[in-house]
Structure formats: C-alpha cells, structure tokens
Structure 1
Amino acid sequence: MKSSDIDQDLFTDSYCKVCSAQLISESQRVAHYESRKHASKVRLYYMLHPRDGGCPAKRLRAENGSDADMVDKNKCCTLCNMSFTSAVVADSHYQGKIHAKRLKLLLGEKPPLKTTAAPLSSLKAPRVDTAPVVASPYQRRDSDRYCGLCAAWFNNPLMAQQHYEGKKHKKNAARVALLEQLGTSLDLGELRGLRRTYRCTTCSVSLNSIEQYHAHLQGSKHQTNLKNK
C-alpha cells in the first residue's frame, strides 16, 4: 500500500483515525486538521509506527523530481522531526520560534545576548534649567532660600521660583504695594509687614484687612474727618 493511501485511510473528511475524532462539518474538519493537538498526535503516531525507520515524508516522492522537495517540506520538517497534515500547518511551523531557533543552531549562529539594565546609580538625572527668581518687594539677599514677605523657606531655587509665581505670594505682594500707596495714613510698623489690623489715626478706628482699610479711606466719614482735621 502506498503512503498516500495510508494517509487517506488515517485522515478522511468525516473521521480522524489518529485522534479518534468524528468530523461533522467542513469548518470542524479544517479546524481539527490544522490544530496543534492533531499535529502532535500525528507526530507521535508516526514515531510509534515508522514506515521506513524515520520521518514518513521521506517516502513521499512526486512523479516530477523537481517537486520532491516541495512535497517533503509540506509533509515533514526533517530538522525538527515534525510531520504536517496540510501546507497551512507546515507554513505555521516554519514561521514559528522552534524552527527558527533550531535553524540558527544548525547554521552556527549564536543566540543574542540578554541586555542588562544599567543600575540606577549610573543614570544621571535630567538637568533642570531653572529660571532666575523674579524680584519681589521685601526680598532678602538670600531670596532663593527665604521669602520675608510670606515668611516661607525654600530648599532649592526651583521651589523659590514656584513660590514667587504662586497666588499666595502675588496676593501678599499686591497688598504690600497698596500699603505703600496708602503709607501716608499708616504708621511705620504697619508698613514693615502684613498685619491683621490696620489703624486709621484720623478716625481712630482699626480695620481687619487692607481691603477694609482701603474702603474706609474712600468712605464719606473718613473724608469728613480728614477735612475737619
């Protein structure tokens, strides 16, 4: 009996004798014959039942000698000692990692060396270019470390820059500017910093914020007292 007759007896459209699988539909038949489980069982079957002591595809010979290699390739991979039931399964194997790895070993190619990650200590931190600190009222010579206006300390120039560009510092700086504009009606102690109370000596009243103080100066009572003074 020819090898092709044996294959036809093992693998029919309705039954796979090697896997003892009943195949009802066309899609089920294609899926089964192209599965890895089927290929593994076929390989095991031919190892247990060799036709010529080796790979079964060695006995397959086409009538045209030029087609012999192609038939061999689609039926069996002699390098990996694997048998295939279809050209699709064969092509999947030849494009896989196992075949590629064995082919490289056969050609004498060395596997690529694994690259090790550099230790964290050898990696330099990216350089951060910090903009010069913007001058602000009541800043000291060491303004990159301390803000006298807000009584805030800094660990580095970047932190200082973020503070001087922040809302809190800008708000306090605006209040100081307003205090300087109204300096004629405030005593020297109030001009040295931001206080919780602001006293109007003309009217002998104290205000809780600079905004209240400014509103008081614009009021009619203060204007009247100022004229009568």
Structure 2
Amino acid sequence: MFKRVLLKLSGEFLAGDSGFGISPETTAGLAHLITQAHAGTGVELAIVIGGGNLWRGARNGAGMDPATADYIGMLGTVMNAMALQDAMEAAGQPTRVMSAIQMQAVAEPYIRRRAMRHLEKGRVVIFGGGNGAPFFTTDTTSTLRALEIGADVVLMAKNKVDGVYDSDPQKNPDARRFDTLTHMDVVERRLEVMDATALTLCQDKGLPIVVFDLFGEGNLRRLLSGERVGTLIQTPVPDPAAAG
C-alpha cells in the first residue's frame, strides 16, 4: 500500500482525437478518471504532465536554439497543468499547480516543503515547468520530484499499453509482457520505459516504477489500493544481514 505516489502523464492524454492541443472534453474525462480513482484511498497524489501535445523541441524547435526550444516546452507543461487543474477542481478535487518557472499570476512557485504540505492536506499537486532547466525531460522531472517529496513510487501512465514488453506489442503479437524487472534489466534489454537519466536516478535511489495502462478499467484505483497492476520495476535492496 502506497502512502504517496507520483503519477507521470503524457501531454497527449489531453489532446483528444486530434493529437494536438487541449481538448476540454478529453481533459474533463481524464480528470474524472483520476479523481474517482483517488477518492477515498487516502493516498497522497502528485502529478507531472508532459507538453508534447503543444510543443516538442526536436520537431517544433528545429533550427531554434535548443535551450530556448526546451523552455517553450516547459511553458507548455504549465498550460497543461492549468487545464488539468481546472478540470479536476470541476470534478471536486482540490488541486494546486506548482511551477519550477516562476509565474505567480497562474501558479505557485515550486517549494518542496509547501508541496508536501499540500499533499498532507489532501490536495493533488500538479508540477509544471519541468525542473526549471533545459535539456531534461519530464521523465527526469518526475523522478526528481518523486524523490524530493518522498514518494513511494513513480506511476508511468500509458495509453493501451498495459506494461513493459520485450518488443512492441502493437507490431509483434507474440510480444511478452514482464510482470517484474529490475532497473538494470531495463538498461540491458534497452526497453523504452523512460529516458536514461531518469532511469539511472531511480536505480541509484531505489525508487520503484510501475508502468501501466491508465485507461484500463479500474487500473489506477487498483494501484492506489495496493494491488499489482502492469509491470513493476524495482531493484532489490541488499540485506545487510546476508552480507555479514
């Protein structure tokens, strides 16, 4: 049973069928799903959301200074965080947006202890603005924020992919899904779970990752209730007694 979790969402979850922008209907559906799954569990929930539905530096920022392209992407994550906040509060869930890039008119500045206090009071905290520096993905931001707030796990939400496979299940009908992996398994098998910087940080700090299908019936609720869903990535902690 988790006490505090960090949920990593893709910006595309807000886009709807167009695959671009923010769809109010799709965002409302996502907010309802998360709010209903979270209600009554007693689990403290933080969220990091990407900005790929609005901006991808490698594609949209071609020919642009890379740092500038990344900063634009960070601003996109704040836009998504605000949209998700609005939808979640309409669904009855108190929410706070905290941004690593200061913009007090629309979001609180990210302050670690303030974020933890919000969580303790039952508010969902949505982190926007990346980690405030270019050249880092929202995967890395998710890992960093999870460690800072003392989260028990990073939940990597996917769409129509119910875990980690040894090959692309949409192309290979014989692809095998893993129930459990270690962080090193992911590295050695070159499995696409998160970027290398984020994965290494999780491994070094012993932070578990769960990869799961967010839209699978009841999956998020089951995870927050302590059930096994998707693929668990965890490196066993050595037993000091065994070493002695």
The TM-score by the shorter chain falls in which range? under 0.3
Bigger relative contact order, structure 1 or 2, given CA contacts below 8 A and separation 6+? 2
Quick check: which one's strand share is greater? 2
> Larger Rg: 1 or 2?
1
TM-score with structure 2 setting the length:
0.23
Structure number with the higher helix fraction is 1
